[in-house]
Amino acid sequence: MDFQLVITKMDDSSVKELMQLFSTEEINITKSPETGLLMMAAKDSFDTDFYLGEILVTEAEVKYKGLKGYAMVMGDEPERALLAASVDAILQADTRDAMEDLKQKVMDFITMQARKTAEADEMERRLIAKTKVNFETMVKG
């Protein structure tokens, strides 16, 4: 599961809720959120790579109990970049460590949000599918 993608798709209230899980923890920002441009690669219908164009990204880096966390998210999203970097550091924790409880809470929250996102994506896919037109079966007139 790509937790950075899940964080990018979460609504603002969920972002705040996830931040609350580790609000009492000491997380040091080693690289403040910075925006930049990144070339976005894509594949065409012939499976050939091409560059779609530049996209705006925000990256950040943190340190948590000796563990380095890094994240890059699409858009001008400094809060989400810091959140994703913090989650990256927390998820690197050794499972025998004292941070296990926090790591499990974060993993459970991200998993729950991933399910919500998947359900919303599926609903959107179904709504879009209803509007598709099959031109082969249309009556010519």
Q: Is residue 105 a part of any domain in this protein?
A: yes
Q: Is residue 22 a part of any domain in this protein?
A: yes
Q: Which of 41, 30, 36 is nearest to 64 (CA)?
A: 30
Give the tens place of pLDDT for each residue, 9-54: 899 999 999 999 888 888 999 999 999 999 999 988 888 988 989 9
Q: Is residue 20 a part of any domain in this protein?
A: yes
Structurally, the chain folds into a number of domains equal to 1
7 close to 87: Cβ distance less than 8 angstroms: yes
The rounded distance, in Å, linking the Cα atoms of 60 and 86 is 9
In the structure encoding, which two tokens stand for residue 20, read together?
A: 């609350």
Residue 46 lies in domain: 3-125
What predicted TM-score, i.e. pTM, was given to this entire model? Answer: 0.79
